[in-house]
Chains A and B, each alone.
Chain A
Amino acid sequence: MNTAMKYQWMVMIRSKWLVSFAVLFALLSSAVIAGSGHEATGGFTRSTAALLNLSLLLVPLVSLLAGSLFIAGEKEDGRLALIQTYPISIRSLTLGLYVGSCISLWTVIAFGYGSASIVLFMTGGTWSTFFFLSFVLTIILTSIFLAIALWIGLIASNRLQALGVSLFVWAFFVLFYEFIVLALLSVAPKQWTILLFGLSIILNPVELMRVWTVAAMKSSTLFGPQLYEWSTWAESTSGQFTFAVIACIWVIVPLLFMNVWMKRGKHHA
């Protein structure tokens, strides 16, 4: 696992593409934070919403692209087949590739959040627990999408296919999903609302992170009177625990698929 992890980490961190994203993410988050200032209260505000939205838009995209393209590339160039010949178990290899990619992207996210915090400090902003929470949740979001990305990279036959599938997955989760749920809401009976929202959170990690952040900041009155009881639950320990469990499932399931896929691939090879 160690070898695979180091290998993946170094290959990814060397990529100019990832470094440029680090700079872009840092610039954008700094701009968002500095531009929407007036942060004097601890809760969920417009600037925190803006930073969260930036994370929710960009992080899945970059995680998906970085993860899937790297693995697809490795596969295309034959390096993955080479690594598979090493005397390491498939499970260690899967985990190694995953952890290596995670460390690289976490570095990028840390760079972005670090820069934004320094910019906010210099513009006279105040500390909010949101930064820490949002950072942690962004890290989790990266981890989830990397797991999905590696699997996409593995099943795609080449880089171009990986790119296409990744873009589609990103657009589906981030852009179309909400509107699909909204459309369903408009036709579904009223008593299904909570069920539908609950399902929509479970089935989309982007939604999960958005709701989790708001709930973790004890600001879920934002969701409105219709979801009052649900919001109270979401803010409670059992709610937070449930969110964490769903996040774990979102990491574990793609990795399991990947593991199975790799095993099958090895046998075929």
Chain B
Amino acid sequence: MYRLCFIVICMFTLLSAKTVYGEEIVVHKHLQQAIDGANDGDVLIIKQGVYKGPITIDKSIRFIAEPGVVIDGEGSEYVVVIRASHVHVEGMTIRQSGYGRGAGVFIKESSHVTLKNVRIEDTHYGVYVESGMHINIVNNVIQGRDVHFAQRGNGIHLLKTKHVAIRDNHISRVQDGIYLDWAKQTVMKKNEIIASRYAIHLMYAEGGIAKENVMTENINGIMMMMSKQFTIERNTIAKQLDYRGYGVLIYDSEHVVMHNNTLRHNNTALSLQNARQCEIRGNEFINNYRALHSLYENKDAIVVENQFLGNMEDALIQGAPIVFDDGEKGNYWDTYRFYDWNDDGIGDAPHRIRSMYSRLLQRWPSVQFYFQSPALALLDTTESFFAQAQAQGEDRFPLMDIPDRQNERKKWSWKLLLFGSILLLSSLTMLEYGRRKIK
């Protein structure tokens, strides 16, 4: 009897579950009509073809495209508008929004919306989310228009949102890759953002994390303004080489944690400008023109266990001094010139950050023309031996070894060997030939 009751309950549950997911409707043409005729919970399967936009999704439906589906806005302001919760959009190409505020996908006052495997091209904004919650933007490709970035919109624009997850997207040629305006608890993970103005731009953002993203060849990698409680972790931020290029710029923000990022070959890798209670720990600063820039007062900012390798200038401190150690450990500087006789892993003398060039630069900005020129480099080196008192900053516990050194095996560069061998052999031949001829 009990068993029979159980089976009846199970069957009832299964049957009712089907009604929750709704009907599966195959759509060949007239998308908007299909949406208007659908009920909450329906699944719309869109067959291959080019469909005319704009469309508005105002029901809780799953909107799944088969390969080869294109929704063309033909210049209308938005191409796809979502004004309902529990919406899932997957797999199509969205193109041709209008200019101004136009967007490929516009999500307003919605929650639990997923946008997945969508390609957005030739639109002003890629995805514009206004007052949304629990939105997932996953594995999309967003490519802006081929115009100057001042005329482009942002890749993903969040305005007054909460709990938005942005993962595995590839964003290029937009104004700002991901723009957060009054956005709370945003998770940005494994996105790739290239050739834009700022890769990630935060304004009045609160909470959230940027993790394992790759940001290259933008003007700035992460531009953070008036934001708080944000974590930047294990990102690769490289080749922001514009003359105003910053890997990360933190302005007037607080409680920012930057851990284990790689900042490689940027104009300025990290700039702190009135950044309060920030922790910069375990990052690699490699081959930047300038690794760290500190302006104004960065209260309680702590910079420890970072590696400074091959940077032309380690730090420029233009405001109040900042702390380069936590009282026990400092950072690894490849420009550190002292020894560790007591073998405790900490250099015996403090590492003083100073640069004749930096001081000249503050008075005459055009001195930058002579950055690393022979005479100034010579002057800088000479000065570093004598002018101990003029340090701009100090690491009292410089590390002698690179923390958590990654044993990445480099490939042999055969081109280098070939180049070297050709030069060596030809020069030796010339030397020998010249000498033999004399005899």
Contact = CB atoms under 8 A, between A and B. Distances in A.
B405 interface: no
Contact of A40 (B264, B311, B367, B424): B264
B367 A182 contact: yes
B150 interface: no
A45 B227 CA distance: 33
Given A14-B434, A111-B428, A186-B364, A38 B373 contact: no
Contact of B438 (A10, A53, A107, A126): A10
B310 to A, nearest CB: 4
B238 interface: yes
A175 B378 CA distance: 9
Nearest to B288: A45
A135 B428 CA distance: 17
Interface string B415-439: 1110111111111101100110110
Sorting the interface of chain B by its residue count into under 10, 10 to 19, 20 to 34 or 35 or more gives 35 or more
Contacts of B242: 221
B427 A107 contact: yes
A247 interface: no
Interface string B113-124: 000000000000
B365 interface: yes
Interface in A56-86: 56-57
B298 interface: no
A120 interface: yes
Contacts of B243: 221, 223-225, 228, 231
Contacts of A135: 423
A115 B430 CA distance: 15
B374 A115 contact: no
Interface centre among B265, B364, B378, B419 (most CB of A within 10 A): B419
Contacts of A210: 373-374
A178 B376 contact: yes
Contacts of A108: 427
Interface residues of A, number: 66
A92 interface: no
Contacts of B377: 49-50, 53
B366 A185 contact: yes
Contacts of B421: 114, 118
A105 B363 CA distance: 41
A240 interface: no
Interface centre among B264, B310, B413, B417 (most CB of A within 10 A): B310
A6 B434 CA distance: 9
Nearest to A13: B434
Interface in A112-161: 113-118, 120-121, 124-127, 131-132, 135
Contact of B413 (A37, A57, A121, A206): A121
B430 to A, nearest CB: 4
A193 interface: yes
A219 B372 CA distance: 13
A36 interface: yes
B430 A107 contact: yes
A254 B422 CA distance: 32
A41 interface: yes
Interface in A190-210: 193, 197, 206, 210
B129 interface: no
A98 interface: no
A228 B242 CA distance: 9
Nearest to B429: A107
B420 A13 contact: no
A117 B375 contact: no
Contact of A38 (B287, B371, B425, B438): B287
B340 to A, nearest CB: 19
A95 interface: no
A103 interface: yes
Contacts of A266: none
Contacts of B334: 36, 38
B369 interface: yes
B158 interface: no
A117 B412 CA distance: 12
B76 to A, nearest CB: 38
A66 to B, nearest CB: 14
A227 B374 contact: no
Nearest to B432: A13
Contact of A45 (B312, B367, B369): B312
B435 A13 contact: yes
A226 B366 contact: yes
A226 B368 contact: yes
Contacts of A56: 373-374
A127 B416 contact: yes
Contacts of A186: 364
B427 A114 contact: yes
A256 interface: no
A121 B430 contact: no
B133 to A, nearest CB: 41
Contacts of B312: 45-46, 49
A168 interface: no
B3 interface: no
B310 A39 contact: yes
B370 interface: yes
A127 B412 CA distance: 9
A45 B287 contact: yes
A105 to B, nearest CB: 11
B405 to A, nearest CB: 12
B414 to A, nearest CB: 8
B365 A224 contact: yes
Contact of B372 (A40, A53, A182): A53
Nearest to B371: A222
Given A40-B287, A222-B372, 8 more contacts: A10-B434, A36-B310, A41-B238, A56-B373, A107-B430, A118-B417, A118-B424, A175-B378
Interface of B: 238-239, 241-245, 264-265, 267, 286-287, 289, 309-312, 334, 360, 364-378, 410, 412-413, 415-417, 419-428, 430-431, 434-435, 437-438
5 contacts: A43-B287, A47-B310, A53-B373, A111-B431, A186-B364
